[in-house]
Amino acid sequence: MALSLNLPGTGGSLSPYALKDALPAQPAPGVKFNRIAYSAAHVVADPRAAIDPWLQCAVDWDATIAYRRYLWSLGLGVAEAMDTAQRGMGLDWPTSLELIARSLDAARDMPGAFLASGCGTDHLPPENARSVDDVIRAYEEQMEAIEKLGGKLIVMASRALARVAKSPADYERVYDRILSQARQPVVLHWLGDMFDPALAGYWGTPDTDLAMNTALGIIAAHASKVDGIKISLLDKDKEIAMRRRLAPGVRMYTGDDFNYAELIAGDGFGDEPTHGKSDALLGIFDAIAPAAASALGALAQGDEARFHAILGPTVPLSRHIFAAPTRFYKTGVVFLAWLNGHQRHFTMVGGQQSTRSLAHLCELFRLADAAGVLQQPELAVHRMKTLLALHGVE
């Protein structure tokens, strides 16, 4: 008999919902992917810490690192201390550096584990940045700290740079300085203002086509120091246009949580292998990790139909999780981690569990079931009922 519960609908009235009777997709062991796939991983808060959660940060380190080991066990990489980890939305730079250090240490014990770590300027409040030189020094401070640990860099978009830069030339100056010093090829990071309004006009212009020209020029000038670029503009046509113009060997890491399935599958454009497909650096891969790994395994074995059959149903779920205000998507990611038993509570750094409504979370539950990503349905139903009761719905 199918599991069921009563869920409130759009108007608030309760109606029965029966979970579909299907086994979630599981990755085949030992299959080597033909795409590089990073999951931007969330952090697990420590709800027992005696802190002011809006002002201070407390992390459950054991649960946080255990989740990274889980992602690695599926064949996924970890993009550490990124926006999915609430970087700049509760996770400060000292805690981010500790997270990076702990994850690098954990990866040494996991054969095949790989990760890259967010390097930004978030310890420099944008309002305190007076010049481009201030931004360069901030980047260099984090760069030195991460590279000292042996970490690979993801050079994150900078709120401070967006504030002080007066032209594309200022961006060229900053990235020239940072890339020239990098010990190993980095991943660049272009986050649209739907993810962070403070990044509006990044690369020196609100015109994304002109911005793309600036970014591509920086990459071409430093191609040996750029592993790839992750763009999160939620516009598949712009991503495809940009990846076709990348320097040979430079990867496009899709950050498009609306259109990732078709972007990863690719279109086979051109003779340069990296121009016809996207690799992945996605926050949604945290929430749908087993399905993502299973789909990538199918793609590696040449079964594109199965790849789409597994990953396609997750796209409506992802579009819901990343719905505007997109920056609050982390709440849905952590909610699914709780439903699936990867943490014992639905509490977030910075109290961010409050950024989505009960109606939003109920629809997320339905879509997660339809996508086949509820790994333990009985536990998920029990926890969903607990959430409903806390909201006065019994």
| Domain count of the fold of the chain | 1
Q: Which long-range contacts (CB under 8 A, 24 or more apart) does 148-152 make?
A: 149/100, 149/101, 149/104, 150/104, 151/80, 151/100, 151/104, 151/115, 151/116, 151/117, 152/115, 152/116, 152/117, 152/184, 152/186, 152/187, 152/227
- Considering the domain boundaries, does residue 371 fall inside one? no
Q: What is the pLDDT of residue 1?
A: 57
Only one residue has tokens 């579909």, namely 20
Q: What is the pLDDT of residue 214?
A: 98
- Considering the domain boundaries, does residue 352 fall inside one? no
Paired with 115 in beta bridges are: 78
- Considering the domain boundaries, does residue 76 fall inside one? yes
At residue 229, what are phi and psi to the nearest 5 degrees? -130, 135
Give residue 2's Cα distance to chain centre: 33
DSSP-based three-state secondary structure for 365 = helix
- Considering the domain boundaries, does residue 366 fall inside one? no
Q: What is the pLDDT of residue 23?
A: 78
What sign results for the dihedral spanned by CA atoms 254, 232, 108, 186?
positive
- Considering the domain boundaries, does residue 149 fall inside one? yes
- Considering the domain boundaries, does residue 372 fall inside one? no
Give dist(CA 329, CA 40) in Å, integer: 12
Q: What is the pLDDT of residue 240?
A: 98
**Cα separation values, 241 from 123, 200, 237, Å:** 34, 20, 6
Give dist(CA 345, CA 46) in Å, integer: 9
pLDDT one digit per residue (tens) for the chain, 394 residues:
589 999 998 777 899 999 998 778 888 788 899 999 999 999 999 999 999 998 899 999 999 999 999 999 999 999 999 999 999 899 999 999 999 999 999 999 999 999 999 999 999 999 999 999 999 999 999 999 999 999 999 999 999 999 999 999 999 999 999 999 999 999 999 999 999 999 999 999 999 999 999 999 999 999 999 999 999 999 999 999 999 999 999 999 999 999 999 999 999 998 899 999 999 999 999 999 999 999 999 999 999 999 999 999 999 999 999 999 999 999 999 999 999 999 999 999 999 999 999 999 999 999 999 999 999 999 999 999 999 999 999 8
Q: Is the preceding omega at residue 325 within 30 degrees of 0, hence cis?
A: yes
- Considering the domain boundaries, does residue 280 fall inside one? yes
CATH number at residue 143: 3.20.20.70
- Considering the domain boundaries, does residue 394 fall inside one? no
Domain range enclosing 303: 34-324
Give dist(CA 223, CA 175) in Å, integer: 12
DSSP-based three-state secondary structure for 154 = strand
